[in-house]
Structure formats: C-alpha cells, structure tokens
Structure 1
Amino acid sequence: MSVVPPGPPALDIDDSPTHEAPPPVEPPAPAGPRAGRALPCTVVLVGLMGAGKTCVGRCLAKLAGVPFVDADAEIEAAARLSISEIFATYGEAEFRATERRVMARLLERPPLVLAAGGGAFMADETRALIARRAVSVWLRADLETLVARTAGRSHRPLLNSGDARATLAALMERRYPVYATADVTLDATDEPPLATARRAFDAVRRHLAHSLSCPSESSP
C-alpha cells in the first residue's frame, strides 16, 4: 500500500479586522466636479498584475472620498506572511482559500475602493459577493503593457518561474473572458493613474445612475 506524504499544515489566518496603513503621500486630487462626491458603495478593481489597480485605486479613493484597501496587503497582514511565502509554503490552493475569506470580510465593510488580486475575481463565490455588494471595474491592459510593468518584480509568484511573457499571455486567455463580466471595463493606458481614476469615477457614477440602487442596498 502506498503512503501519501502529509501536505503542509493549514494556513493560520487572523480573521480580525486589520487597520489600513497610512497611504504614501500623493498629490491631492484637484478640485472640480468630482470633489467631495463620495461614491455610495464599494468599488472593486479587478485585472491582471501590472494593470495598475493599486495606483489607480489610491487615486480613485481620494476622488470618491472613501478609504483604499489593497486585498493582497490584507492577506499578508492576516497570514503574517508575504504572498510569495504563502505560495512557497502552502501552495496556490491554500492562498486562494485565504483570498476568498479575506475578500468576503472586506466586502462587509462600509464603502471603499478595493484592489483585488489578479485571481480573486476568478472565484465564483467571490465574484457573486462582489456582484451583490459592490461595483466591479476591470482595468484592461494589453500584453505589452503588462510585460513592461511587471518586468524585474520578484514579489509576483506566478511570474517567478519560466517565461513571464508566456505566463501573462496564458493568464490573459484564461482570465479576460471572466474579467469581461465586470460592471465596468476601462482600458489601462500609459496615462497618469489620476487620469485613469477620473475615468473610473465617472464610469462608476454612470453605471450607478442606470441602476435602481447600489448593490449593497438591493442585496439581502
């Protein structure tokens, strides 16, 4: 009889709410028609690594008058390990399970701008929660943009082995049809993050104007 070696122990997660670290100093959002007009519900930014979710998200949060939260940073705080360490020690499946738990907790918070990890929106459970409680915005980037933005970065486990370009192309093929189900799609270009955030802000407001209510208001 063959003996199956035991796998790694389950990842110990702190499910207590974490406190967002103070964001880095950024240029203030300019005054204008968007200033002081908070969005009434959470906005979740989805897309592949390198799409600009964190940079755009911080700017969008300022425009919207709500906090910004990076889901990967929350996962690291809950696990007390870096994303790379979680992948190396526990594997991708355990990371994804942790990601689902953390995303569910974050979606219970008052309105915020949430930068989701590249694979978070692929989980049916998480995608359904986002649909009920938030507005999803896909930052769609082409392959050349993603390759340029992720080059030389060692904190992305999925790109640390093999051909990063081929990996990104494969991820695009698998994930983009799912990302396309987001409420709003924006092309991620080389414009400054604040310019993309302005487009996102206006697109979300247009989306909400055509909805009867915010997702969180119409959900049980």
Structure 2
Amino acid sequence: MADELARLAPQLAGRISRTVVLVGLMGAGKSCVGRRLAARLGMDFLDSDVEFEAASGSTISDYFARFGEPAFREGERKVISRLLDGPPVVLATGGGAFVDPATRERIKRTGTSVWIRADLDLLLKRTVGRDHRPLLKQGDPKEILGRLMEARYPIYAEADIIVDSTDEIPEATVIRVMAGLIEHLNSESK
C-alpha cells in the first residue's frame, strides 16, 4: 500500500489547481480520507463542518436545534463558497452540502468533486452511537440513512470522480481517490 501511495503522489505533484471537494453521506470517510489525502498531496485540509462551527460559534447540532435545517444549509453554503474562494485545499463537506443546488453548482465551477460512496452497513457501523449527527437523532438510523441514500446518491453521482469506501484501512480509499484524480486530470488535459 505504501508503494502504491508513493507511486501515485508524483503523478499529481503540481497538477492540482482546484480545491478537491469530498462529498458523500455521513460516515463515508470524507474527513478521515481527506486528512490523509491532503498530507499525501502536500495540501491543507479543511472540513466545512468545523469551519461552519467556527464561523457560527455553535455546534452544528445546536445550530440545527435552534434555527433548523434551512438556516444551517444557508450558512453552510456561505462557508463553502468562502472556502472555495481561497487557495486550493482538500475540503471535506457535510453530507447535505452537495445536495444543495447552489453549492453543487459552485463546486462544479471552481472545484473537483469526489464522491466517497459507501454501502448502508458500513455507514451504520461508522455512525451509530455518535451524538453529533442531528439527522440521525430523528428516528431509526438505518431507515434514515436508507432514505438519505435513495435521495442523495443520484445527486452525488454528478461528482467528477466516484470512489468506493470499504471496511479497510483509509489509505486504500486514499489510493482510489488519487488514482481517480490522475484519471480525471488526464482526461481534462486531452
């Protein structure tokens, strides 16, 4: 695995001129993979949820409870837009960010989107028992995630690159993302 990472990294050196935006459902591994990917690419890593909390002075759960999802999505849209205006980074977004038409269009214009796709069982394994997922507090997590998959997966499929996250070490997904970036950049340069 280390050999594969070492082989792929030079193929991307100096070629990434746009923010790499990781999209997908909660639990897909966007933040975990994003940190490792950024380190491999020599780029900074940002998480739009962390940036939202810093800008709002509130946790996402508290913000959701006080102001509701529409207000959160508006704030999230503004934060992501600001981050996309900055220098290229690896950016992990919240699960609903790419679903928002304005945010999706902004990402398409100024970033390179990567859908980290995961199956229901893996998402459940990674999210159940965590208290910071407001959407999962509204009923049965399996049913909620299933509904979110049905609604969001066709939209996530609009991403520039699609990679699968599996129940293996995060570096395996990082390799798939790097290979996808190389293929995407090569197709753009033709």
TM-score range, shorter chain: over 0.9
8 Å Cα contact 2:29/2:165 also seen in 1: yes
> For 2:9, which of 34, 37, 46 is the aligned residue?
34
Residues 66-112 of structure 1, C-alpha deviation per residue, up to 9 Å, x if partnerless?
10000000000000000001001111110000000001001111111
Identical counterparts, % of pairs: 51
Shift of 1:151: 1.0
Change (3 A) 1:113 1:87: same
**Counterpart-to-counterpart distance in 2, 1:140 and 1:32:** 24
**Counterpart-to-counterpart distance in 2, 1:50 and 1:150:** 6
> For 1:157, which of 134, 144, 152 is the aligned residue?
134
What secondary structure, in the 3-state scheme, does the structure 2 residue paired with 1:139 have? strand
What secondary structure, in the 3-state scheme, does the structure 2 residue paired with 1:160 have? helix
Q: Does 1:89 align with 2:72?
A: no
Q: 1:172 matched to which residue of 2?
A: 149
Q: 2:167 matched to which residue of 1?
A: 190
**Counterpart-to-counterpart distance in 1, 2:57 and 2:129:** 25
Q: 2:114 matched to which residue of 1?
A: 137
Higher relative contact order (CA 8 A, sep 6+): 2
The amino acid across from 1:34 in the alignment is: A
Taking the TM superposition and a 5 Å limit, the aligned residue runs for 1:54-133 are 54-133=31-110
Length-normalised TM-score, structure 2: 0.93
- Bigger fraction of residues in helix: 2
> Considering only CA atoms, is the larger Rg found in Structure 1 or Structure 2?
1
Change (3 A) 1:195 1:88: same
Q: 1:43 matched to which residue of 2?
A: 20
Taking the TM superposition and a 5 Å limit, the aligned residue runs for 1:198-217 are 198-212=175-189
Shift of 1:30: 6.3
8 Å Cα contact 1:72/1:117 also seen in 2: yes
Shift of 1:32: 4.2
Superposed CA RMSD in Å reads: 1.8
**Counterpart-to-counterpart distance in 2, 1:80 and 1:54:** 21
Q: Does 1:181 align with 2:158?
A: yes
8 Å Cα contact 2:8/2:178 also seen in 1: no
8 Å Cα contact 1:63/1:201 also seen in 2: no
8 Å Cα contact 1:63/1:198 also seen in 2: no
Length-normalised TM-score, structure 1: 0.80
**Counterpart-to-counterpart distance in 2, 1:63 and 1:81:** 31
What secondary structure, in the 3-state scheme, does the structure 2 residue paired with 1:49 have? coil
The amino acid across from 2:91 in the alignment is: L
